[in-house]
Amino acid sequence: MSKKVSITLDDEVLDFIDQLASNRSSFINDILWQEKRRIFMKELEDAYKDQANDPELQQEISVWDVTVGDGLNA
């Protein structure tokens, strides 16, 4: 779903957009989606680092590793 909004841009920024794209809305929307994805990926990376540095979680993983390798056939 899309919504129409009104934003104010500096003249220089608008000139830049017009040089790069024929559809301003699509261009700005694409840039913002890229930024949203970049932020998400950074948060995901930070969460993985936190998990890797959590000794309790690492202990729990090692317990499950033993359980998975107990020789039961699925």
Say if residues 20 and 27 touch (Cβ distance below 8 Å).
yes
Q: What's the confidence (pLDDT) of residue 50? A: 95
* The model scores a pTM over 0.85: no
The confidence score (pLDDT) of residue 63 equals 86
Q: Which residues are CB-contacts of 18 (< 8 A; sequence separation ≥ 6)?
A: 24
Q: Of 5, 47, 42, 43, nearest to 25 (Cα)?
A: 5
- Neighbouring CB atoms inside 10 A of 16's CB total 13
Average confidence (pLDDT) per 10 residues, the chain, 74 residues: 95 98 97 98 97 92 80 64
Domain residue extents for the chain = 34-67
Question: How far is residue 3 CA from its own chain's centroid?
Answer: 23
Cβ contact 17:28 at 8 Å: yes
